[in-house]
Structure 1
Amino acid sequence: MDRVEIGIKIKAYRKELGLTQKQLQEKTHVHKTTISEMENGRFSGSFDLFERVLDAIGLEFVVTTKVHRIPNMHEIQELFGDDD
C-alpha cells in the first residue's frame, strides 16, 4: 500500500465517522493542513502524527513483507510494444 492508498483510507474512514478535517484536528491536535497532506498522499513527516490520526479514526499501521510481482508477457508487450 502506498501513500496515496493510505490517504484514501484515512479520508474514507474520517468521512464515515462524520468528521471534518477541522474536527479531526481538534481531536488529534494535528493541524488540518497536515491531515489534508496525509489524505492526499503528500505527507512525509512524523510517524507520531500518523499514529494520532489513525488512532482517532480507528485505523492502525500493519507492517507486512513486501510482495514483488513479475509482470506477465502481455503486460511487458504493452509497455514495450510498437504504437500502431
Structure 2
Amino acid sequence: MFARIESGKIIAQKRKELGKTQKVLAEETNVNKSIISQIENGKFSGSLRVYEKYINGLGLELAVRPIKSKIPDFDNLHHLFPDE
C-alpha cells in the first residue's frame, strides 16, 4: 500500500507541474475523474490498463523493480547477528 501512496504523490505532482486539473486530464485521457483521484491518493485497485492510460497521459510510464527491503528468512539471520 505504501508504494501506491508514494506513486500517487509523484503522479499528482507531475499533473500539477503540467498545470492541469484532474478534470482536464480526465477529458484528455478518457479516465474518470474519480479514478484519477483514487490513483493520486494511492487507493486505486482497478485495472492496470486504466492506470497506465492515465500515467501515460502525464508522460509517465510504469516500471517494475525489485522491492528495496526484504525481511530475511531464518537461515540468513546469522549474517545480521554474528557471533562475537
Q: CA RMSD in A?
A: 1.4
Unaligned runs of at least 5 residues, structure 2:
72-84
Unaligned runs of at least 5 residues, structure 1:
71-84
Give the Cα separation in 2 of the matches to 1:40 and 1:66.
21
Give the Cα separation in 2 of the matches to 1:13 and 1:67.
23
Number of residues of Structure 1 aligned to a counterpart in Structure 2: 70
In structure 2, give the amino acid aligned to 1:48: R
- TM normalised by structure 2 equals 0.77
What corresponds to 1:29 in structure 2? 30
Give the Cα separation in 1 of the matches to 2:68 and 2:39.
24
- TM normalised by structure 1 equals 0.77
Runs (4 or more) in structure 1 with deviation over 2 Å come to none
Give the Cα separation in 2 of the matches to 1:27 and 1:61.
19
